[in-house]
Amino acid sequence: MSNFTNDAFGAGHDHIFLGAAHADNERRTWMVIALCSAMMVAEIVGGSLFGSLALVADGLHMSTHAGAMLIAALAYTYARRHATDSRFVFGTGKLGDLAGFTSAIVLAMIALLIGYEAVSRFFSPVPIHFGQAIPIAVVGLLVNLASVWLLSGDHHGHSHGHSHGHSHGHGHEGEHGHDDEVQRVFGTAGVFAVSIFEDGVPPVFRITPETANSKLTSDSVSVVTIRPDGTRQTFAFAERNGYLESKEDIPEPHAFRAVVRLPDGEHEIEFEEHDHGHDDAHDAASRDHNIRAAYVHVIADAAVSVLAIIGLVLARAFGWLWMDPLAGVVGALVIANWSWGLMRDTGGILLDMNPDRRMAENVRHVIEDNGDTVLDLHLWRVGPGHMSAIVSVVTHEAQRNPDFYHAALKRFRGLSHVTVEINPTRAAAY
């Protein structure tokens, strides 16, 4: 007997999984295209009027720069206009990753061309017109810096509305992060670190043994918080891999006394509220790779301009003509490295690789802490800051329907679409 549903929460049934900064990034990208296009026209017209072949060549180079930006801009525009198109089963949120992958290939080709040209100049040096080349390189650098400034508002892909929160002890299992948010309890069974932890879910307590052979069971531990207004809340715990984690979330603010009940008695500690920045634990899941690709392109171009200026200045000052092609080789290697990183990240998303294994682990814990068993679990990214999940559950409770699991999983920020398959046991079915 099976109960299957594909009801979603978070983004709703319209399947709009665009990044929270989609409109702003689209606007920024078109602004960079306008800047590069204006510079391109000025250089080509000016070079033609004044007979400067170098200026015309740089203008043509600027056209490739604008073309690369056009990939990102068109992806934003198309994704926005077709966000509600039912033909896209999971929306158009991954179109930016496709554009980012395409841009990564373009960057790789540019790296190869620069590297080939640089190596050929080692063996066949060409005369350099320093009077023209250096000013053009400086102008190109200024345009690239302006482009970097225009794109830098959200190039890391912080998905506002999905990635904000408190960084209470981010890290791997058992790590506590900031020492000022970890309190230690000294009991007869050993020393235990009590921390407030958040990694993709609302804050929870974690209790981790810090001495050898120290071990606690979930039924022998509880925490009672006492807030300044006298409000009390009791937290039960579940056993994890080497530590205990509270089943209940910790409400804001995180300023309270906490009574930790261990087998040897009660221990009182105190937590103070701290100012916290962005939650970066889910950068991989929330990063906008389209704006990242555009940003990497202009940064790469700026880096090449800087290396070119250095090479040209040294070549003119000391007669080191080999410095110019050497700068080209270094620039090609830098661009190739950035291209590979972008290709790897976007390719993984296009192949539905799970970018947030910790969230998958936490989803499994939430369901199994309620006494059920997870038969199958798949998580993948459908857009910047949006994850989708398919969960197959075995339950002994006949009254548990898909809404029960949707409510339990609403705690996960960025989990925008959930499909639940319920498999009641024979006892539950009757």
What angle (nearest 5°) sits at the alpha carbon of residue 13, between those of residues 10 and 249? 20
Of 200, 201, 196, whose CA–CA distance to 254 is shortest?
Answer: 196
- On whether both 47 and 140 belong to a single domain, the answer is yes
Give the Cβ contact number of residue 369 at 10 Å: 16
Can you give the pTM of this predicted structure? Answer: 0.64
- On whether both 335 and 211 belong to a single domain, the answer is no
- On whether both 90 and 146 belong to a single domain, the answer is yes
Query: Reduced to 3 DSSP states, what percent helix, strand and coil does the chain have, rounded to the nearest 5?
Result: 45, 20, 35
**Residue 166 belongs to a domain:** no
- To the nearest whole number, what is the mean pLDDT of the chain? 77
Among 331, 350, 369, the domain-final residue is 350
Among 271, 293, 311, the domain-final residue is 271
Count up the domains in the chain and report the number. Answer: 3
Amino acid identity, position 64: T
Model confidence pLDDT, tens digit, residues 177-189: 433 467 888 777 7
d(CA 399, CA 395): 10
Tokens of 365: 């814990």
- At 396 the pLDDT is 84
Indicate the pairing of strand 415-424 with strand 386-395.
Answer: parallel
Residue 142 has pLDDT above 70, yes or no: yes
Of 287, 304, 290, whose CA–CA distance to 28 is shortest?
Answer: 290
**Residue 323 belongs to a domain:** yes
Q: What is the CATH number of the domain that holds 259?
A: 2.60.40
d(CA 181, CA 166): 12
- On whether both 125 and 145 belong to a single domain, the answer is yes
- At 201 the pLDDT is 67
What angle (nearest 5°) sits at the alpha carbon of residue 198, between those of residues 250 and 293? 145
**Residue 418 belongs to a domain:** yes
- At 199 the pLDDT is 67
**Residue 276 belongs to a domain:** no
Q: What is the CATH number of the domain that holds 412?
A: 3.30.70.1350
Of 349, 337, 344, whose CA–CA distance to 107 is shortest?
Answer: 337
d(CA 416, CA 410): 9
- On whether both 102 and 30 belong to a single domain, the answer is yes
Q: Structural domain of residue 192, as residue ranges?
A: 179-271
% of the chain residues with pLDDT over 70: 79
User: Residues 383, 94: contact at Cβ < 8 Å?
Assistant: yes
**Residue 307 belongs to a domain:** yes
Task: Among 121-125, 277-281, 316-320, 421-425, name the one with the lowest average pLDDT.
Answer: 277-281
DSSP state letter for 179: G
Tokens of 184: 């230690």
- At 235 the pLDDT is 95
Residue 280 has pLDDT above 80, yes or no: no
Among 294, 317, 350, the domain-final residue is 350
Residue 210 has pLDDT above 70, yes or no: yes
**Residue 361 belongs to a domain:** yes
Give the Cβ contact number of residue 357 at 10 Å: 10
User: Residues 262, 185: contact at Cβ < 8 Å?
Assistant: yes
- At 56 the pLDDT is 63
**Residue 48 belongs to a domain:** yes
- On whether both 391 and 296 belong to a single domain, the answer is no
**Residue 3 belongs to a domain:** no
Q: What is the CATH number of the domain that holds 117?
A: 1.20.1510.10
d(CA 428, CA 10): 30
User: Residues 286, 159: contact at Cβ < 8 Å?
Assistant: yes
Model confidence pLDDT, tens digit, residues 68-107: 888 888 989 998 888 888 888 888 888 889 998 998 898 8
Residue 162 has pLDDT above 50, yes or no: no
Model confidence pLDDT, tens digit, residues 281-317: 456 667 788 888 888 878 877 777 777 777 777 777 7
- On whether both 118 and 45 belong to a single domain, the answer is yes
- On whether both 209 and 83 belong to a single domain, the answer is no
Of 341, 267, 336, 345, whose CA–CA distance to 303 is shortest?
Answer: 336
- On whether both 140 and 73 belong to a single domain, the answer is yes
Tokens of 96: 């930016």
Mean pLDDT for 334-355 is 88
Residue 111 has pLDDT above 70, yes or no: yes
Tokens of 367: 């369901």
- On whether both 406 and 294 belong to a single domain, the answer is no
- On whether both 27 and 153 belong to a single domain, the answer is yes
User: Residues 80, 17: contact at Cβ < 8 Å?
Assistant: no
Residue 176 has pLDDT above 50, yes or no: no
- On whether both 102 and 140 belong to a single domain, the answer is yes
